[in-house]
Structures are given as C-alpha cells and as structure tokens.
Structure 1
C-alpha cells in the first residue's frame, strides 16, 4: 500500500508553530488516539495557516522537504491506510 500522497502532521509536543515544507497537508492534532478530525489544509499562496481544530500555526519553509518539519518529528504516518 502506498504512503499518504499528502503529508500528515501531528503536534504531540503542543508547540504553537510548526514549520513544514508543504503547502497542502493534513493536520491530525496529536497522534491517535488523541487526534482531532483529520483536516486538509491548503495554504495556497500564503505562507502560513492555522488549524481550525487545534490552533497550531503551520508555516511554509521552502528549505524543508514536503515530509520535513521544524521541530523535527511532526510527520505522522498511519500504521493502517487512512
């Protein structure tokens, strides 16, 4: 089975800002079972967006790959397909 076509990010550390290398992604809140509804977010031409569920501010950083984050370790991969 293929990995997610769109990266999924989680905020287990509860940081206010996560820098990512993707403009389209899913926010899951914290990792399951403490997640919120998995919401698709699209920054469009903007450089940042706030998740309407957990209020995490995601900021696009061109120097990061689509599956990277700052702080590191925020990429979430489901054990089973979502």
Structure 2
C-alpha cells in the first residue's frame, strides 16, 4: 500500500460513534498525553469496526473525504479553528 497516507483519527470528545470516509485507518484514542498505542483498523468488507483499546465505534460514510469525520474534528493532530 505504499504511496498513500493512512489517516489517523482520535476521540478527545468521547463520542460513541465516529463516521469516517475510509475503511482503513489508525485509531489513536485521544490526543497526547491521553492517547493509546496507534492501532491499524481495517473494516474489510464491513462498514463498521470498534477499536479494541478505546471502544470507539467507527462507521464508514462514503460521502466523507478520507481525512474528514462526522462529528467534525476527530482527525489526529487537527488544530481547533
């Protein structure tokens, strides 16, 4: 899979569900210092997955771009505007 960046997502706000625009990504938990090991999650043929570390439920939403989330702002390293 060389040649593309795998998006990283975090859940600082403690959302139960985060919709993402990709089926392969890294979950970081929350932003440091409250993060967990960055784990690779692959939904495969499914459209949902739960992170085994933080229990965040991720759902694939094909209407979102690769680095966007719903609710907004769950991309790892994003700065608040």
Partner of 2:41: 41
Partner of 1:25: 25
TM-score, normalisation: structure 2? 0.89
5+ long unaligned stretches in structure 2: none
Q: What count of residue pairs does the alignment treat as equivalent?
A: 75
C-alpha displacement of 1:37:
0.6
Partner of 1:5: 5
Larger strand proportion of the pair: 1
Partner of 1:73: 73
Q: In structure 2, what is the Cα distance between the partners aligned to 1:21 and 1:46?
A: 13
Partner of 2:54: 54
Deviations 1:26-55 (A, max 9, x none): 000000111001000000110000000000
C-alpha displacement of 1:77:
3.1
> Post-superposition, which runs of at least 4 consecutive aligned residues in structure 1 deviate over 2 A?
none
